[in-house]
Amino acid sequence: MGILTSDKIKEYFLKSSDDKLIVTPILDPDTQLGLTTIDLRLGPKFKVDLRTREPVIDLNDERPIETFFDHTYRNFGERFLLYPNQLVLASTFEYVKLPKDLFGLLITRSSWNRLGINLTSIVQPGYAGVLTLELMNKSSNPIALYVGLRLVQLCLFTVEGTNSDQYITQSISKYVAHSEPKTSNISEDKDIEILNNKFRNTIRH
Amino acid sequence: MLTSELSYLNGLINDLYDFEEELKRLSLKVYPSPVLKQFITKELIPIVLNIRDIFIKDKAKLDEDPHYNISAKTKAAEIIWSSGYLQHFAWAISESNIKSYPLEIMSFFKDLIHELDTSNFEILAVPSHEINFSFSEVWLPLKDYLEKNIGLKSNNETLLIKLTFPHTHRHNLFLSCIYAHEIGHYFDRRNDFWGDIFTKVIKDRFILKKFKPILRTSSDVDNDAIRIVILQKVLGSWIREAIADCFAVCLLGPAYVYSTMEFNIFSSGRQQFHNNLLMNIYSLTHPPNHLRNNFQVKLLKELGLFRVLNNRLKNEITEYNDQINKSASYYRDSETRLDLDDTLYLVENKEFYDVIEELWKSTLTPIKSRVKSFLKNNVMTPKQVEEALRLAEERIKLAVPPNEYEGKAASVPAILNAGWFARLQYRADMEKVLNNIKGEKADYNFLENLNSLIRYALYASQVHKRWQE
Amino acid sequence: MVMSILNMREDYQINQPLGFNTHILLEALQKMKNHEGLDELEAATMKYTVDFLSVVISFCEGENKRYMAGMSGPEAFSLFVRTLAESFTLEGVKQQAEDFKNLLDTLNQCGSISDQEWNKLNKWIHSLMDIEYQWSSAERFSRWRL
C-alpha cells in the first residue's frame, strides 16, 4: 500500500469506467491538486446537532439519529459559524468516487487544524458520493467558515489483496451516491443485535 | 351588541390591531431574508396603520354623529381588508420556508428571471401539501391596487415571486420540470403575451359566428360581445397553457415532455383505476391532453430536439402520443358548466369545442414565435440533447453526477434531460453499480439515487459555471 | 399546473379587482356635479376610470393594452361587458364605453350632465360596485390567518 502522488492521481482520472477515480468538480486544479493530496471544499449543506427532550443517543432506541440534527444551508461564499464544542455534519462540495483499488484518508488542512478544527476519516474503496465532514471546533472561540473554502485534503492509497470486491459491495450498500452530509448509520450496525440477543436480553447471573 | 356600522367598524379596527401584532411577530421570524423583513416593517405594517387610521377617523365621526354617512375612502379600505388580499400576502411570507426550498432547480430559474426580466426580486418558496406548482408575482398587483383604491403609494419595486410547490415532491426533479411551465405563466403574465395573441385572434369575426347557439338564457342573447367573454375565459386560458408549454419545451426540451407524460399517466391512470376508462377530456381552463402533447411533440421536432434522440427515447414519446390520441374523447355536451351570472349559461357542444380547437390551433404559430424571440439563446439546442445523452451514458450510468461535460460545467437543461435519459435507459446498469436497487423498494430507491445525483449536479454545475466566468 | 389538470372546478369567479374604487368614483362624480373640488385620490380615480374605458375601447378596435398589473385588454373587456344592462354587439360595447368615457369627460370639464345621463352613469357605477363587492367576497385568498 503506497500513497498516490499527483502524477498517479492524474493517471487515475484518465482511466475508464469502473477503474476511474472521480473527483468532480475541481474548480481550481492548480491549487487543489498537491503533491500527494487533493484539496476539497466545504459544501453548502449542514446538519447541526440539537439538544432535545430525550437527549440520549442509544442504539437500542428506535429514535432515528437524524432527529438529533437540524438541517440548514448556506450559499457558496456565505458564512457558517462553528461554535466551540458543537458537532456539525457538513460535506465536501466535490463528489468523489473511488475505484475498487483505492482507499482514501480525509484530514483537515493544517491551517484549519491549528484553529481547532481537526477531523480524520477514511474513505472506503468503491465509495461514491460527497464526503461527510464531522466538524468540531475545539478552540474557545467561534470560527467562521465559508462555503467553498478548501477545508480538507484527501490522500489516496492503493489497496493490496484479493478480497476487495466484497469490500466494495458492503461499502456501496451502506453509502449510496450521497449528495449531502450523512448522519451516522451506527443504528444499522449488526453488532448491537448480536449483543442484545446473545448477552443483554439473556443476562446470566 | 347591535349590528351597526359602528360595531362593524370597531371589529375591523380590532382585527387590524391583531394583524399588526402578528406582522410584528412575523418580522422577527423571517430569517434569513432582510428583504422580507423590510417588506413587513416598511410596507405591510404602514399599510395596516394607514387602513386602520382611515377606519378610526370615520369611527370618531360616527361616535359624534350616529347619522354620519360612512366615507367612500372607508368603504374602499374595507373592500381591501375584506378581500383578504393583504392577509394572503402576509400569509405567503409567513409560510415561506427556506429549509424546504427546492434550491438546486430554482437557481436555474432565478438566473433566467435575472437575465430576462429583472434582477430586483425575491423568491417566496411556499411548500404546499397539495400537488400544486405555481409561480406568481404578488407584490406589484397589491401595490398597484392600494395606490389606485386608497391612494397609498410605495416606491418599492422589488418583485416578490411566490413559488408554490408540493412539499413531499420538493426534491423530485422528474416532476420539477413542471416549474419550466409555471415560469412560462410568470413571463406571460409579466409581458401579456396571451392578451396580445387573444386580441389578434378575436379580430377575425367570421370565426366567432361559427359557434351558435352557445348561450341559453331566459332571453335570447346571441352576440359577439358575449361570445368574446366566453372565449376570453376558455380560449384565453387555453392560450395561456400553450404559452407555458411552449416556454417549457423551449427551455427543457424532451425532459419537460417526459415530465408531463408522467403526470398525465398518473392522472389518466387514476381515472382508469377507478372508472376503467381512459379519458382525455378538455376543461374550460386546459386544452385536452392530446392537443397539448401533439403541440409539445411538434415543437420538439421543429427545434430539432427529437431527431437527436435515440430510438428508445423517441419511442417513449411516440407511443404515448399514439395512446393519448386514441383515447381522446374531445368534447362533452353540457349546459351549465360555465356559470357567468345568474342568467347566462354556456352550452358546450361539439360546435363550441370545434371553434375553440380551431382558434387555439391558429394561435400556436404566433405563440412559438413570441416565446422563442423572448427566450433568445435560452432555447434548448440539439447540441444540448447530445450533451445530455453523453452525460447519461458516461456519468449517471456509473453513479457519477452529470455536472461536468468536457471539462466544463454542464448546462441545466442537459442535466435534467440526462436524468430522464438515464431513468428510461440505464436502470439495469445502475442496479449493478448501486446495491440498494433491490427488493420491494427497488424502484423507489432507483429514483431516489437518480434524484440525488441530478440534484447534486444542478448545484455543482451552477457553482462551477460561475467560478469559470 | 398539476392541480389545475386534476381540478375540474370551472366556476367563473371574478378574479381581478377593478383598478379603481367605485365608492370614491361616485363621490367624485357627486362633487363634480356640485361643483366642489376633488382631492388627489378622487381626481386620480376619474383618470383610472377613463383609462379602464380606453382599454376596453382599444380592445374593441383590435388592440390589446394592459390596464394594470394583472389585467389585460380582454379581461377589462369581459369585466365591462358584465356591467352592462343589456347585451350588445362588439360595436355596441365599444359605443357604450365611449359614451361613459364622454360623460366622464364632460362632467370633468363642465361639471354638469343631464339627469338622464347622470342616471345612466349612476346605474353603471352601481353595476361596477356589484362586481367589486363580488370580488372582495369571493374568499379567493382563503388561507389568510397567520
Domain boundaries, chain B: 5-169, 227-378, 382-468
Domain boundaries, chain A: 6-202
Which pLDDT belongs to residue C143?
42
Please report the beta strands in A11-86, taking only residues with DSSP state E, as ranges in sequence order: 22-24, 37-41, 45-49, 69-73, 79-82
Which pLDDT belongs to residue A184?
67
- For the stretch B333-387, pLDDT in tens is 554 444 555 445 566 677 778 888 889 999 999 999 999 999 999 999 999 999 9
* B26 neighbors B94 (Cβ within 8 angstroms): yes
Summarize the confidence of residues B288-314 as an average pLDDT: 96
Summarize the confidence of residues A60-89 as an average pLDDT: 83
| Confidence band, pLDDT 50/70/90 cuts, at residue C86 | confident
* B463 neighbors B109 (Cβ within 8 angstroms): no
| Confidence band, pLDDT 50/70/90 cuts, at residue B433 | confident
Phi and psi at residue C118, to the nearest 5°:
-60, -45
Comparing CB atoms, the residue among B196, B224, B229 nearest residue C78 is: B229
User: What would the DSSP string read from start to end of B362-418?
Assistant: HHHHHHHHHHHHHHGGGS--HHHHHHHHHHHHHTGGGT--S-EETTEEPPHHHHHHH
Summarize the confidence of residues A149-175 as an average pLDDT: 68
> Which residues in chain B have their CB less than 8 angstroms from residue A25's CB?
403-404, 409, 460-461, 463-464
* A88 neighbors A6 (Cβ within 8 angstroms): no
* C103 neighbors B236 (Cβ within 8 angstroms): no
| Confidence band, pLDDT 50/70/90 cuts, at residue B278 | low
CB proximity under 8 Å: A 69-128 to B? 71-73, 76, 93-95, 97, 128
In a domain, C5, yes or no: no
> Which residues in chain B have their CB less than 8 angstroms from residue C87's CB?
221, 223, 225-226
Whether A117 shows a pLDDT value over 60: the answer reads yes
Name the amino acid, one letter, at A101: D
Which pLDDT belongs to residue A186?
64
Summarize the confidence of residues C9-36 as an average pLDDT: 78
In the 8-state DSSP scheme, what is residue B133?
A: -
In a domain, C116, yes or no: yes
C-alpha cell at B393: 451514458
Helix, strand, or coil (residue A93): strand
C-alpha cell at A175: 453509502
Which pLDDT belongs to residue B242?
97
Q: Cβ of B103 and A97 within 8 Å?
A: no
Query: What is the distance between the alpha carbons of residues C86 and C92, in angstroms, rounded to a whole number?
Result: 10
* C-alpha dist (Å) from residue C74 to A88, B201, B226, B233, C101: 56, 11, 12, 9, 18
Which pLDDT belongs to residue A63?
67
Count the domains in chain C: 1
> Which residues in chain B have their CB less than 8 angstroms from residue C64's CB?
192, 195-196, 198-200
Catalytic residue among A11, A66, A134, A188: A134
Q: Cβ of C74 and B189 within 8 Å?
A: no
Total residues found in chain C within this entry: 146
Q: Mean pLDDT for chain B?
A: 86
* A150 neighbors A23 (Cβ within 8 angstroms): no
The closest of B357, B382, B230 to B295, measured between CA atoms, is: B357
- For the stretch C26-56, pLDDT in tens is 999 999 888 889 999 999 999 999 999 999 9
Comparing CB atoms, the residue among C24, C73, C89 nearest residue B76 is: C24
Lowest mean pLDDT segment, chosen from B219-233, C81-95, C103-117: B219-233
Helix (H) or strand (E) holding B176: none
Whether C4 shows a pLDDT value over 60: the answer reads no
* C-alpha dist (Å) from residue A21 to A7, A100, B14: 13, 9, 67
Whether C131 shows a pLDDT value over 90: the answer reads no
Helix, strand, or coil (residue A123): strand
Which pLDDT belongs to residue B277?
60
Q: Is A54 a catalytic residue?
A: no
Query: What is the distance between the alpha carbons of residues C110 and C82, in angstroms, rounded to a whole number?
Result: 29
Instruction: Choose between B70 and C142: higher pLDDT.
Output: B70
Q: Cβ of C81 and B229 within 8 Å?
A: yes
Most C CBs within 10 Å, among B202, B216, B241, B266, to test the C interface: B202
Cβ-based neighbour number of residue C18 at 10 Å: 26
Domain of C79, in residue numbers: 18-136
Distance from CA of B61 to the nearest CA of C (A): 18
- For the stretch A164-190, pLDDT in tens is 454 444 444 444 566 677 766 666 667
Please report the beta strands in chain C, taking only residues with DSSP state E, as ranges in sequence order: none
Cβ-based neighbour number of residue A7 at 10 Å: 9
Query: What is the distance between the alpha carbons of residues C65 and C112, in angstroms, rounded to a whole number?
Result: 30
Give the rounded percent of residues in chain B with a pLDDT score beyond 90.
51
Give the rounded percent of residues in chain C with a pLDDT score beyond 70.
82
| Confidence band, pLDDT 50/70/90 cuts, at residue A38 | very high
Find the residue in C nearest to B270 (Cα). Answer: C6
Which pLDDT belongs to residue A83?
93
Summarize the confidence of residues B96-108 as an average pLDDT: 76
In a domain, C77, yes or no: yes
Q: Cβ of B435 and A173 within 8 Å?
A: yes
> Which residues in chain A have their CB less than 8 angstroms from residue B434's CB?
172, 176-177
Which pLDDT belongs to residue C7?
27
Which pLDDT belongs to residue C6?
25
Which pLDDT belongs to residue B9?
93
CA C111 to chain centre: 21
Bridge-based pairing state of the strands B159-166 and B121-128: parallel
Which pLDDT belongs to residue C146?
41
CA B259 to chain centre: 15
Whether B271 shows a pLDDT value over 90: the answer reads no
C139/B contact by beta carbon, under 8 A: yes
* B412 neighbors B458 (Cβ within 8 angstroms): yes
* B461 neighbors B413 (Cβ within 8 angstroms): no
Find the residue in C nearest to B189 (Cα). Answer: C70
Sign of the C-alpha dihedral computed for residues A85, A89, A93 and A96 taken in this order:
positive
Which pLDDT belongs to residue B345?
55
Q: Cβ of B236 and C74 within 8 Å?
A: yes
* A176 neighbors A128 (Cβ within 8 angstroms): yes
Bridge-based pairing state of the strands B159-166 and B134-137: antiparallel
Q: Cβ of B198 and C74 within 8 Å?
A: yes
Name the amino acid, one letter, at B57: K
Whether B273 shows a pLDDT value over 80: the answer reads no
CATH topology of domain A6-202: Deoxyuridine 5'-Triphosphate Nucleotidohydrolase; Chain A (2.70.40)
Whether B249 shows a pLDDT value over 80: the answer reads yes
